[in-house]
Amino acid sequence: MNLTLFVWRQKGPAEKGRLEQFNAKDISPEMSFLEMLDTVNEGIIKDGKEPIAFDHDCREGICGMCSQVINGVPHGPQEKTTVCQLHMRNFKDGGSIYIEPWRARAFPVIKDLIVDRSALDRIIQAGGYISVHTGGVPDANAVLVSNDDADAAMDASECIGCGACVAACPNGSAMLFTASKVTHLAMLPQGQVEAARRVCVMTEAMTQEGFGNCSNHYECQAACPKGIRVQFIAKLNREFIRAQFKGARRESPQ
Amino acid sequence: MRFLENTVGRKIVIAVTGQLMAVFAIFHLLGNYFNPYSMKFPDIGSFIWLARLAMLLSFGLHTFFGIQAELENHKARTGPYALKKSISTTFAAKTMIWSGILSGVFIIFHLLNFTFSVIDESFQDNYAVALGYTIGLSAVCLHLYHGIASFFQTMGWNSEKSLSVITMAGKGMALLLFAGFICIVVLNRV
Ligand code: SF4
Ligand code: FES
């Protein structure tokens, strides 16, 4: 396959970026999108120029590093698929592909397609954990969890923190990410103790990091490579309302 | 006060006040077709004053928090994508701020026109006013096209299955309201 790429190039966080055109020649349809970029980069390096900087790690769809908006959709055209798991057979030979970084105030561009997503980590640090006593490993099934709850918690925990939901959101909100974390723990008995505080501090951390407010566009769900559903945001909202009656503030250890 | 500083808290205020006004619009439409004064409601007078107070408060809070959210959301975005596809959002959802502002202006105009009689041109005998009503009603219903269903998501009053049904019903309700109101303008005009 031969393709024309329009890739976002930006030297650093404070620099102005622009789209640069590249020709990707002799691309195999079986290549992954990142392998295609590797091939293009080899050509660029041979020409003695600066290769395209992009994030990646596992290349098997579980780490959430490969953050690229491809032809206007975070993670590209295939549903529930990360960029690393996207194959070139999904593109038309001779076509052109736009590749851009996640664009959100809370995700500053480090270089080219690489953005700093540590704002998501700080949302987790605010309350995305449970406090447990250390010591011996608890017996299996000592705490009973219904199958439905376990399934829902498992679904919510599938979030890989990639940030595609933010990239897709017209408001630059990280509500789907935050909701998946809140739901994951709220479904389980172990998460109950800090539930009221968690939902408040995590949503506040989200705002502090500069993410926008959710207004129910549902673009996040459409872009999420892990199928996290907006129903989890409804669950977060219920948790927030419940927290108001539980005096979440007074329980706060801060 | 923490409630009103939290993004979800403010969203709930926007949703509840918005839905109160939507419910008012539904009764307002019904009232146009079936005159409530002819029915034997006990003490409708004081009820109307209560409703007016609730509407005034809702209008103020909804406008304030709506604009605040929009300004913050604007700041949360950086430069536009060279190419961006919308997958699931709607025209109505993307234009809430504009349909909202237009609706606000329209509601104020409508009150000056009917309730306070400051503007005494009516759509019955003035084409320009009739056109204004048509535009205003379109804006209101476009706003409700996203708003009515959005309320249930914000309150968390849905489930895995009911979300899509509620979304459809909300859109349907907005279209019904539009049809109902526009008929009043058209039928009185022709
Ligand atoms: S919710 Fe989905 S899109 Fe958002 S960070 Fe998690 S996996 Fe990525
Ligand atoms: S590189 Fe790990 S998810 Fe794509």
ipTM of the complex: 0.92
Chain A residues whose CB is inside 8 A of the B75 CB are 105, 210, 212
Q: What is the pLDDT of residues A205-220, one digit of tens each?
A: 999 999 999 999 999 9
The Å distance, Cα A117 to ligand 1 centre, comes to 12
pLDDT tens figures, A10-27: 999 999 999 999 999 999
Residues of B with CB under 8 A from a CB of A: 2-3, 5-12, 69, 72-73, 75-89, 93-94, 96, 146, 150, 153-160, 163
Q: Relative to the CA of A164, which ligand 1 atom is closest?
A: 3
Closest to B12 measured CA to CA, from A231, A216, A221: A216
Residue-range domain boundaries for chain A: 3-110, 117-246
Minimal CA separation from B68 to chain A, in Å: 10
Position A254 pLDDT exceeds 50: no
Give the model's pLDDT for residue B48: 81
> CA of A178: which chain B residue's CA is closest?
B8
Q: What is the CA radius of gyration of chain A?
A: 20
Residue A175, token pair as written in the block: 């509500």
Express each pLDDT in B30-46 by its tens digit: 988 887 665 655 666 77
Q: With a 6 A CB cut-off, is A58 part of the ligand 2 pocket?
A: yes
Nearest to B7 among A203, A222, A223 (CB): A203
Nearest CA to ligand 1 atom 7: A159
What CATH number should be reported for the domain whose range is A3-110? 3.10.20.30
Q: What is the pTM of this model?
A: 0.94
HEC secondary structure over chain A: CCEEEEEEECCCCCCCCEEEEEEECCCCCCCEHHHHHHHHHHHHHHCCCCCCCCCCCCCCCCCCCCCCEECCEECCCCCCCCHHHCEHHHCCCCCEEEEECCCECCECEEECCEECCHHHHHHHHHHCCCCCCCCCCCCCCCCCCCHHHHHHHHHHHCCCCCCHHHHHCCCCCCHHHHHHHHHHHHCCHHHCCCHHHHHHHHHHHHHHCCCCCCCCCCHHHHHCCCCCCCHHHHHHHHHHHHHHHCCHHHHCCC
**Separation of A38 CA from ligand 1 center, angstroms?**
25
Protein residue closest via CA to atom 6 of ligand 1: A159
Is-contact A67 A99, C-beta < 8 A? no
Nearest to B183 by CA among B17, B1, B32: B32
The predicted structure's pLDDT at residue B42: 62
Compute CA A209 distance to the chain's CA centroid, rounded to the nearest angstrom.
Answer: 15
Which residues in chain A have Cβ-Cβ distances shorter than 8 Å to B72? 207, 212-213
Residues A103, B94: C-beta atoms closer than 8 Å: no
- State mean pLDDT over A112-117: 98
- The answer to whether the CB of A183 falls within 8 A of the CB of A156 is yes
pLDDT, residue B41, reads: 59
Condensed to tens digits (0 to 9), the pLDDT of residues A159-204 reads 999 999 999 999 999 999 999 999 999 999 999 999 999 999 999 9
Domain A117-246 has what CATH class? Answer: mainly alpha
C-beta of A229 in contact with ligand 1 (< 6 A): no
Angle between helices A175-186 and A195-208 (to 10 degrees): 170
| Residue B135, C-beta contacts closer than 8 angstroms, at least 6 positions apart | B102, B106
